[in-house]
Structure 1
Amino acid sequence: MGNRLPPGQFETEKWPILHQGDVYEFNEATWDFRLFGEVKEEISLSYEEIMKLPKTVSTVDMHCVTTWSKFATTFEGIAFRDLMKIVAINENVKYVKIYGYYNGDRFGYSANLPLDALLGDDALFVYRWKDQNHEWQDITPKHGYPLRFIPPATFYLWKGTKWASGIRFMKEDEAGFWEELGYSMTANPFKEERYR
């Protein structure tokens, strides 16, 4: 599916900056990442602990609901599946909400996703990137530093939570930030699932 342009999209080599609310100011001393919800035991990881987890490098395509698509951006980060290895989830968990900072609230932003779609190399909590025009560099605060979720290309990019702060495991699907405002729950760009 690489380099396949979904309907209604145009290709760009730039990585446009779009965000809602204030840009989060990272403070390593107070930042942590929480795994909670339908789990046997909640886990909270410091920035140091997150950065000690195995790293994955993956090249992905990004598709924004505002109609731009950027092909072949390479990211380094922690694969969603590697976070799954450190938490014991309850039976019948089929969905997650990935949270991020929004105007000072660490759980103010969220995006809902089906769990089974996030177990490959293309679902990453990223901290640096490169492409054909850029060498490796940290993602900027406006792009979600210190940790941003990049979803598989089968989801519009609003599912890619900036300033990621945690994962809530769920048995039932539940609308996230943009979904509550009328955006699609499933958000497949190849089916133009932009709105409900």
Structure 2
Amino acid sequence: MSKPQTNKLPPGQVETSKFPVIHSGPVPDIDLNTWDFRLFGLVSEELRLTWNDFMELPKYTSTSDAHCVTTWSHTNNEWEGVALHTIMSLITLAPEANYALVHAEGGYTTSLRVDDLLREGVMLAYKHNGEVLSRDHGFPVRLIVPHLYFWKSAKWVRGIELLAEPKLGFWEQRGYDLYGDPWLEQRYRDTTSRT
């Protein structure tokens, strides 16, 4: 179980005043006129939101720390966007939908449990510290999952696929832990990993 946010860093982390930019592949050039977000898979009916639809949803703000698996931590990030539980309330999940695969631009994916997506502080953010996200940091929206390592907070998110069983995402396929709790130092997959 993840520990609540404190003034302490998880084991093995070092605080940085800069917000490093790390991603795989090129930074996409996204047109908001054609951007959409989908919830699909084990749902009663697929949901598709345009940018205008998304921006009409209730705004949500949260402050959290970001802990990268590469050992840097950037603390006290103020995010503004839409809470994931708000978006998920727009659909009806199948009873067996316990897992999710988050889809982003360029084929990037990351896997999560549905109950982690519904936790307080989890959101699709479009602003960081009062400024619209830069392209390098995920414009127009990035997922924020503050209780897990930051690779789970995918940039350039386009959809969430609901699943009955976990499906490995981009970094999970390359040996990263299935869960990724920074307080337990779940960086790489081993026999103590949980799904």
Common topology (TM > 0.5): yes
TM-score, length-normalised on structure 2?
Answer: 0.92
In structure 2, which of residues 157, 161, 166 is the aligned counterpart of residue 168 of structure 1?
161
Coordinate RMSD, CA, aligned? 1.0
Greater strand fraction, Structure 1 or Structure 2: 1
Which secondary structure does the structure 1 equivalent of 2:179 belong to? coil
Cα distance in 2 for partners of 1:171, 1:163 equals 24
Superposition map of 1:12-23 within 5 A: 12-23=16-27
1:139 corresponding residue in structure 2:
133
1:13-54 CA-to-partner distances (Å, cap 9, x unmatched) read 221111110101111222111110101111111011011111
- Give structure 1 regions of 4+ aligned residues with deviation exceeding 3 angstroms: none
Structure 2 unmatched ranges of 5 or more: 190-195
The number of residue pairs the alignment matches comes to 185
Which secondary structure does the structure 2 equivalent of 1:82 belong to? helix
Query: Contact between 1:54 and 1:78, CA under 8 Å: does it hold in 2?
Result: yes
Which secondary structure does the structure 2 equivalent of 1:142 belong to? coil
Cα distance in 1 for partners of 2:63, 2:93 equals 28
1:156-177 CA-to-partner distances (Å, cap 9, x unmatched) read 0000110000011111111101
2:13 corresponding residue in structure 1:
9
In structure 2, which of residues 145, 150, 174 is the aligned counterpart of residue 151 of structure 1?
145
1:122 maps onto 2:127 in alignment: no
2:78 corresponding residue in structure 1:
74
Query: Contact between 1:56 and 1:121, CA under 8 Å: does it hold in 2?
Result: no
1:47 maps onto 2:46 in alignment: no
2:97 corresponding residue in structure 1:
93
